[in-house]
């Protein structure tokens, strides 16, 4: 929890500098404020660099985008997503939670059979995993790699941290396992939004060449009741809108290929 401690003590120091204000302490306080702002954003906002950058988009010179789905597999909704993708001859990338793969073997194997790419989303999707020690993160990510390999014979190339949070320890853990950290630049906000039209609009109003689109085919909390029906309904609208815009959905591997 080193990063939380830095934020707590940094905030206390910032407040003290203004309580005992002098021209010097005010100047130092302003610098400290912007450092803490950057420090916080770089952890909790995947697009903000933190000594390194997660990949959040592909080559903008080609009319391709990547559809990515987090938090699955789910026995009902992931299968419905796969049905729609198959009907539209579209390939996507699924960032899987390791302990869910073991409960949905047939769904995971179907993904592979139908040509979709599988990514690593940690073993248990602990929300603040990226704030943990490097060793613990390595274990969580590594266990998910093993779970996926045991089911599919494939080792994921990409890791998406739970919630998109990232720290230098996250980078080190991923690099140890040969993984590239991938975020997104477009969100459907389907975790909060229940209107399929609004979910689709969140994507289509901002999508551009090279975009990585984030949607969800399950809940991030194991055992929690999940309703991804709005996402399912939005997906057809999104695919139609991408086609109208001349954008082809592909896997991340294809998006990043030169």
Q: How far apart are CA 32 and CA 184, in angstroms?
A: 29
User: Could you list the active site residues?
Assistant: 70, 216
Q: How far apart are CA 86 and CA 68, in angstroms?
A: 15
Q: How far apart are CA 150 and CA 98, in angstroms?
A: 11
Question: What is the b/e burial string over 147-167, where b = at least 16 CB atoms within 10 angstroms of the residue's CB?
Answer: bbeebbeeebbbbbbbbbbbb
Q: How far apart are CA 240 and CA 2, in angstroms?
A: 45
Beta-bridged to residue 250, according to DSSP, are: 66
Mapping DSSP onto H, E and C, the string for 86-114 reads HHCCCCCEEEECHHHHCCCHHHHHHHHHC
Q: How far apart are CA 53 and CA 203, in angstroms?
A: 22
């Amino acid at each position: 929890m080193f990063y939380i401690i830095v934020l707590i003590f940094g905030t206390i120091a910032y407040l003290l500098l203004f309580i005992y204000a002098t021209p010097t302490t005010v100047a130092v306080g302003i610098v400290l404020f912007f450092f803490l702002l950057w420090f916080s954003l770089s952890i909790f906002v995947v697009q903000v660099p933190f000594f390194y950058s997660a990949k959040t988009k592909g080559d903008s010179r080609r009319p391709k985008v990547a559809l990515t789905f987090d938090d699955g597999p789910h026995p009902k909704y992931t299968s419905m997503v796969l049905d729609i993708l198959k009907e539209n001859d579209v390939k996507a990338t699924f960032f899987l939670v390791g302990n869910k793969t073991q409960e949905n073997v047939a769904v995971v194997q179907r993904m592979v059979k139908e040509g979709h790419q599988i990514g690593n989303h940690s073993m248990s999707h602990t929300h603040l995993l990226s704030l943990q020690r490097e060793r613990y993160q390595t274990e969580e990510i590594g266990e998910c790699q093993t779970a996926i390999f045991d089911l599919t014979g494939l080792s994921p190339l990409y890791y998406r941290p739970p919630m998109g949070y990232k720290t230098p320890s996250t980078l080190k853990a991923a690099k140890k396992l040969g993984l590239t950290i991938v975020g997104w630049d477009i969100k459907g906000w389907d975790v909060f939004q229940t209107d399929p039209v609004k979910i689709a609009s969140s994507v289509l109003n901002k999508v551009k060449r090279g975009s990585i689109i984030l949607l969800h085919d399950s809940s991030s909390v194991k055992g929690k009741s999940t309703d991804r029906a709005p996402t399912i309904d939005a997906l057809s609208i999104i695919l139609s809108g991408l086609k109208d815009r001349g954008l082809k959905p592909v896997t991340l591997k294809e998006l990043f290929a030169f």
